[in-house]
């Protein structure tokens, strides 16, 4: 059986669209249709229902999907074993939240281009739920999660570092000039601009603030860290962000740290799908991620044995 048919099958199962699958595979839509029909004929079963609302995998298709992914995984293992004599090469897709995409990963990619010029890294901004789904579907090879825990039965995750979190405000804000740390009661009377829901450290701070008796906190959530920083720098309120994302603004005096309750660092979890084999290129990316984070944050562990 031509494994290209299985690759087309798994891509269509994930995208649920012949058009999207064709674009991702760089094929004509008619070619995708022919390949799926060929595979259905070889397997003797219908894999998809073509409905007005889109392409839906059949029950038989769902039963065969895991097996197809297993065959493709075995093929990748075979190709990787054959290529181990040469330098790492290939494309690796890494999913991570905006914080890490902006503050950490550009340096990793720059070093990888110097050390492994034949390894191509694509970054995809993704929160935890989107990143885990990307690992499950095969859209992502590796994901970085800013989470205290990453307990997913099909995902292997190891802490490789911690990111320091800081409360910040504009330099002219009253809390910026306080010698005495602000209490939770005082913070709960302030306006906060936080990263979007699903951001673990922002969600935790919101819960802590709203749990204060008589809290009058005003919370505004943004999908962009840049928008959050801009509002705070303009004196509109406070925010909680990894120090790496505000370091330059602190040096320039555009933001100031607020002394307050101790807020734990957020772990950086390096995650992959439990059943998918990591290519030689993926291993090279993981090694550089671990090395980079060990130099820039508090490292604690390795992955991809």
Higher-pLDDT residue of 101 and 206 is 206
Q: What is the CATH number of the domain that holds 98?
A: 3.40.190.10
Main-chain dihedrals φ then ψ at residue 231, nearest 5 degrees: -65, -40
DSSP 117-144: TTEEEEEEE--HHHHHHHHHHTS-SEEE
Question: Are both 36 and 148 inside the same structural domain?
Answer: no
Instruction: State the Cα–Cα distance between residues 295 and 287, nearest whole angstrom.
Output: 13
User: Which residue among 83, 102, 129 closes a domain?
Assistant: 83
User: Which residue among 83, 116, 131 closes a domain?
Assistant: 83
User: Which residue among 83, 112, 145 closes a domain?
Assistant: 83
Question: Are both 171 and 252 inside the same structural domain?
Answer: yes
> Could you tell me how many helices (H) and strands (E) the chain has, helices first?
12, 12
Can you tell me the mean pLDDT for 38-61? 90
In sequence order, what are the residues at sequence separation of 6 or more whose Cβ sits closer than 8 angstroms to the Cβ of residue 171?
Answer: 253, 254, 255, 256
User: Which residue range(s) make up the domain with 37?
Assistant: 3-83
pLDDT tens for residues 149-178?
A: 888 888 889 999 999 999 999 999 999 988
Q: Is the pLDDT of residue 241 over 90?
A: yes
In angstroms and rounded to an integer, the radius of gyration of the C-alpha atoms of the chain is 23
The average confidence (pLDDT) of the chain is: 87
Least confident stretch, 127-131, 132-136, 272-276: 272-276
Q: Tell me what pLDDT residue 302 has.
A: 39
Question: Are both 110 and 255 inside the same structural domain?
Answer: no
Question: Are both 151 and 9 inside the same structural domain?
Answer: no
In sequence order, what are the residues at sequence separation of 6 or more whose Cβ sits closer than 8 angstroms to the Cβ of residue 141?
Answer: 92, 93, 94, 272, 276, 278, 279, 282, 285
Q: Enter the DSSP assignment of 167.
A: E
Question: Are both 152 and 271 inside the same structural domain?
Answer: yes
Q: Tell me what pLDDT residue 148 has.
A: 85
Question: Are both 66 and 122 inside the same structural domain?
Answer: no
Q: Tell me what pLDDT residue 84 has.
A: 58
Higher-pLDDT residue of 235 and 302 is 235
Least confident stretch, 181-190, 191-200, 253-262, 275-284: 275-284
In this prediction, residue 210 has a pLDDT band, given cuts at 50, 70 and 90, of very high
Q: Tell me what pLDDT residue 205 has.
A: 95
For residue 92, give the H/E element and its range.
Answer: strand 90-96
Q: What's the half-sphere exposure (Cβ side, CA atoms, 13 Å) at 194?
A: 22
Q: Is 257 among the domain residues?
A: yes
Q: Virtual CA dihedral for 58, 61, 66, 69, nearest 10 degrees?
A: -120
Question: Are both 229 and 285 inside the same structural domain?
Answer: no
Instruction: State the Cα–Cα distance between residues 71 and 65, nearest whole angstrom.
Output: 10
Residues constituting the chain: 305
- Give how many domains the chain has, as a whole number: 3
State the SS3 of 130-183. Answer: HHHHHHHHCCCCEEEEECCCCCCCCEEEEEEEEECEEEEECCCCHHHHCCCCCC
Q: What is the CATH number of the domain that holds 69?
A: 1.10.10.10
Q: Is the pLDDT of residue 132 over 50?
A: yes
Q: Is the pLDDT of residue 143 over 90?
A: yes
Percent of the chain with pLDDT over 70: 94
Question: Are both 184 and 203 inside the same structural domain?
Answer: yes
Q: Tell me what pLDDT residue 82 has.
A: 62
Q: Is 304 among the domain residues?
A: no
Q: Is 38 among the domain residues?
A: yes
Token pair 């094929």 is found at 27
Token pair 């570092």 is found at 161
């Amino acid at each position: 059986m031509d494994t290209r048919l299985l690759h087309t099958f798994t891509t269509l199962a994930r995208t649920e669209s012949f058009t999207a699958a064709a674009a991702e595979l760089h094929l004509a839509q008619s070619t995708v249709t022919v390949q799926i029909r060929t595979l259905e004929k070889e397997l003797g079963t219908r894999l998809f229902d073509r409905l007005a609302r889109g392409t839906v995998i059949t029950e038989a298709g769902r039963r065969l999907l895991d097996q197809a992914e297993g065959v493709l995984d075995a093929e990748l293992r075979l190709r990787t074993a054959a290529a181990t004599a040469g330098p790492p090469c290939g494309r690796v897709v890494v999913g991570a939240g905006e914080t890490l995409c902006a503050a950490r990963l550009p340096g990793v990619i720059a070093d990888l281009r110097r050390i492994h010029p034949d390894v191509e890294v694509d970054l995809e901004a993704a929160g935890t739920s989107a990143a885990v789904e990307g690992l499950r579907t095969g859209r992502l090879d590796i994901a970085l999660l800013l989470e205290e825990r990453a307990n997913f039965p099909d995902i292997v995750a190891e802490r490789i570092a911690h990111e320091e979190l800081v409360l910040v405000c504009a330099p002219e804000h009253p809390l910026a000039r306080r010698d005495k740390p602000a209490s939770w009661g005082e913070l709960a009377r302030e306006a906060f601009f936080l990263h979007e829901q699903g951001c673990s450290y922002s969600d935790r701070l919101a819960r802590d603030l709203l749990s204060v008796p008589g809290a009058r906190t005003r919370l505004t959530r943004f999908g962009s860290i840049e928008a959050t920083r801009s509002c705070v720098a303009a004196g509109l309120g406070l925010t909680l962000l990894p120090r790496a994302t505000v370091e330059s603004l602190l040096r320039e005096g555009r933001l100031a740290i607020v002394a307050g309750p101790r807020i734990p660092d957020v772990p950086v979890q390096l995650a992959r799908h439990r059943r998918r084999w990591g290519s030689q290129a993926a291993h090279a990316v993981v090694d550089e991620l671990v090395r980079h984070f060990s130099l820039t944050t508090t490292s604690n562990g390795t992955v991809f044995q």
